[in-house]
Structure formats: structure tokens, C-alpha cells
Amino acid sequence: MHCVFLDYHGYNNMQVALPAIKEGLGYTQVSLQWVMNAYIIFFGGLLLLGGKLSDLFGQRRIFMWGFSILTLASLLAGLAWNDSVLNVARALQGAGSALITPAAMSIVMTLFTANPKEMNKALAFWGLSGAAGGLAGVFLGGIITEWIGWRWTFLIYVPIGVLALVLSPGLLQKGIRRKGRIDYTGAISITAAIVLFVYGIVTAEHNGWSSPSVIWTMTIGALLFILFIFIQAKKEEPLMPLRIFKIPNLAAGNIALIMLNGMWIPFNYFIMLYLQQVLKFSPFEAGAALIPAPILIAITMIFIAGKLVEKFGLKAVLFVGFLALGGSMLLLSFNTTVDGNYLANVLLALLLASFGRGLAYIPAQTAAISGAKPEESGLVSGIYNTTSQIGAAISLAIIVVIAAATTASSTAGDSVVALNEGFQQAFYWSGMVAFAGAILALLFIRTPKQGEANGQR
């Protein structure tokens, strides 16, 4: 599970450095999202391939391939001399993580799939690893950015990656290798579709939604996605067999994860910008301000969410978690002012959002994977990680465009006031995504029948 710690640590570590990266490499307020989206798109777009490779070649081998790519990409990111180079490095980091994550999740699922209660505990500790990484990331990211420089938020992963590669052969089993073919055509088509679709959304803020470049980019992206579905339906060994969606709750669980990441990633992105660009926090202060979030998420996951799921079921807990998330975003939307302060304007919403995240994560993830057979573990892990990352990338792109458009149309003479108006809209629409997740959970999540949770169907 240490890979989850590293992934969340790296995400939060870099996030604290966003304003410094913007100044250092000359990003615009809109293009800055590519520091996150370049990673998210290639992470999400290649996760299905990573899951398939893990099933075919063994988890340990793919895990180590992923860490090799991630380590080299982190070196390139730390040495980046312009924004384009950093975007490429972030895309390569995403590709490396796309190999690491399903391999690690496959190991966990293989160990615990026969015992649903133990699986819930394992998922809780998986989430705890992420929360611990988040805690380390926001704190150390602030220290590194303020006193060493933003480049070290990437370079720090070079020695960590080398250490992981040295230790993995002794700590991880090789895993089960299975026969099969790799659907490279499917992997290329889905990744290209995501890249083009998100790029079209991002450029729409500058070029206009009706511009030919935006229309054609998004049309080609949509056609590539349709091509991907067609390939999956016709191939003997597709990257994502469509029959997999017959697993109870898998489709609904994946939709829940799309909504969960679709509001959480924009929230994290904009709360960090609000703290540093509006409240004028230093990187260290901004990182320290977010420390309560991963602590409360971890406490909720370990001590509360699992027990509530056992007592009330997946649907009820997921619904309440989404409601808490939506409410927290509305608080931020109405409460984040230019002359505000952390205790009065941010802390309560941050705690409510963290509690909601802690409640929603385990039932959403459990719904997405609990009915899978052991031999499908890498595939199912790749699917749920893919859908959640795609949801994050598209949602972030759309909400950034909304925020930028609000700022550009503001009548406020003060640029900080105009910027803050955009952030308020970003929080508002993040809340709407969460409320949509609550409604969908209520409509489509169901309690598994006896035997379904054990991969029997």
C-alpha cells in the first residue's frame, strides 16, 4: 500500500506548489490546470492497460515498470525549463502511476476477495495510506516549496523511486501470470479520446465554444470514444470486456467514483489557489491549513465508515457522504471572501468536506469492485480508477473554464475580487457535482445479494 501513500503524497505535494509553478514557468491562470490534468488524463487513460498488463505479466513486474517510468519522469519534471516540458513530464508520471496503481490494488484484492469484511478493512487501510500521504504531502509540500523550491516537489521522488525499486523484489510476490493478448488499439483510442475531449474544453475558454477548433477537437474525441466501445464489443480479448458491467453495482459504483473525484479534485485545486492567491497564505501556511483534511478523512474511514456500511448499507452511507460534500462546497461558495480568514471562512467547510469524503469513499469503491472474481481484479481496478480519473479531468477542465469566464466577466475593479468570484463559482459547481452523486447513489446503488460480494455470479 505504500504506493498509494506516494501517489497521494505526490498529488498534494505538487498541489501546494501550484502558484509557485505558475510564476516560475509562466503558466496562465487557465493553463495552470495542465500541471494536474496532464497527469490525470494519462493516468486515467492508461489505467485499463495497466490493469491488463498486471493480469498478464504479474503484479510485481508491472509495479516496478511503473516506478521506473515515474522516477525518470519526476527527474524530468524537476528539471523542466518551460511549461511544455513540465506538462510532458506530468503525463509520463501519470503513465507510470497507471502501471503502479492497478498492480497494487490487484494484490490487495487477491489477498482479501474471499472475505468481504476483511476486504472492507483492507480498503479502509488503503484509504488510510492515501490520507497519510495527503497529510505528508500538504505539510512537506509547503515546506519544500517555501524553503527549497517548487522543483523539489518533483525531484524528491527520484530517491524515493529508486528505493522502491530496490526493495520491491524482496517485499512483493511475483503475482500470477495469465495468458492473453493486449488490446493496444483500445488503449490508444481511449487515451486519445480523453486527451482531445479535455483539450477541447480547456481551449473553449479562449477560443469560444462555437469555434471550429473546439468543435472538431471534441467531435474527434467523441468519435474515438465510440470507436473504443466498438472495439471492446468486437475484440476477442478487449481491454475492457463490456460483460464486466454485469457485475452487480459495478456501473453504479464507477459512476459514484466519477462524481466523487469530479468534485474532490476541483475542490482541492481551487482551495489551494484561494488560500494563496486571495488570502495570501505562503506555501507553508497553505499546506499547514489543509492538514486537518487528511486526518479527518483517515479517522472517518477507519473508525466510522466501515461500521456505518455494515449497519445501514452502501447506499445510505454513500448518500450521506455526498450530501456532506455538497453542503461543504455551498458553504465555501458563499463564505470565501476577499477579506475572509481561515478559521471563519474555510475551516468548517474543510472539515465537513473531509468527513463527507471519508464516508463516501469506501462504499463507492466497495460497490465498484466487490463482485469481481480474483482473475478480474486487475481489470476491475483499472476500470474504477480510470472512470474516477476521467471524471476528475473532465470536471476540473469544465469548472476551470467556468471560473475563468466568471473572473473575465466580473465588473469588479479589483482583480483579486474578480478572481475570488471565479473561485466561488468553482466551489458552487463542485457542490452541484456532489449533489448529483447523492441522487445517483440513491437511485442506482443496491445492497448485494448473498454470494455476490464474494465474486460469485
Half-sphere exposure of 175 (CA within 13 A, CB side): 32
Kind plus residue range of the DSSP H or E element containing 23: helix 18-25
In the predicted structure, residue 359 carries a pLDDT above the cut 80: yes
Number of H helices, E strands in the chain: 19, 0
Cα–Cα nearest to 120, from 389, 457, 448: 448
In the predicted structure, residue 288 carries a pLDDT above the cut 90: no
- For residue 39, name the pLDDT band (cuts at 50, 70, 90): confident
Cα–Cα nearest to 12, from 114, 107, 189, 153: 153
**Which of the pair, 259 or 234, is modelled with greater confidence?**
259
**Which of the pair, 1 or 91, is modelled with greater confidence?**
91
Q: In a 3-state reduction of DSSP, which class is residue 209? A: coil
- Quick check: 367 and 388 in contact, CB under 8 A? no
Domain chopping of the chain, boundaries: 2-182+239-454, 183-238
**Which of the pair, 60 or 230, is modelled with greater confidence?**
230
Tell me the CATH class for 2-182+239-454: mainly alpha
pLDDT number for residue 456: 44
Cα–Cα nearest to 35, from 273, 330, 341, 274: 273
Rounded CA separation 49/224 (Å): 17
In the predicted structure, residue 138 carries a pLDDT above the cut 80: no
C-alpha cell at position 186? 483500445
pLDDT number for residue 239: 75
In the predicted structure, residue 4 carries a pLDDT above the cut 50: no
- For residue 270, name the pLDDT band (cuts at 50, 70, 90): very high
In the predicted structure, residue 221 carries a pLDDT above the cut 50: yes
Question: Of the segments 199-213, 277-291, 438-452, which one has the largest average pLDDT value?
Answer: 277-291
- Quick check: 375 and 389 in contact, CB under 8 A? no
pLDDT number for residue 240: 78
In the predicted structure, residue 243 carries a pLDDT above the cut 90: no
Question: Of the segments 115-124, 158-167, 202-211, 367-376, which one has the largest average pLDDT value?
Answer: 158-167
Angle at alpha carbon of residue 34, lines to 82 and 28, rounded to 5°: 65
In the predicted structure, residue 131 carries a pLDDT above the cut 70: no
Question: How far from 59 is each of 107, 160, 383, 403, CA to CA, in Å?
Answer: 7, 20, 16, 41
Tens digit of each residue's pLDDT (9 = 90 or more) over 42-98? 887 787 788 778 778 877 888 889 999 999 999 999 999 999 999 999 999 989 988
Angle at alpha carbon of residue 228, lines to 379 and 57, rounded to 5°: 30
Compute the residue count for the chain.
457
pLDDT number for residue 116: 60
- For residue 124, name the pLDDT band (cuts at 50, 70, 90): low
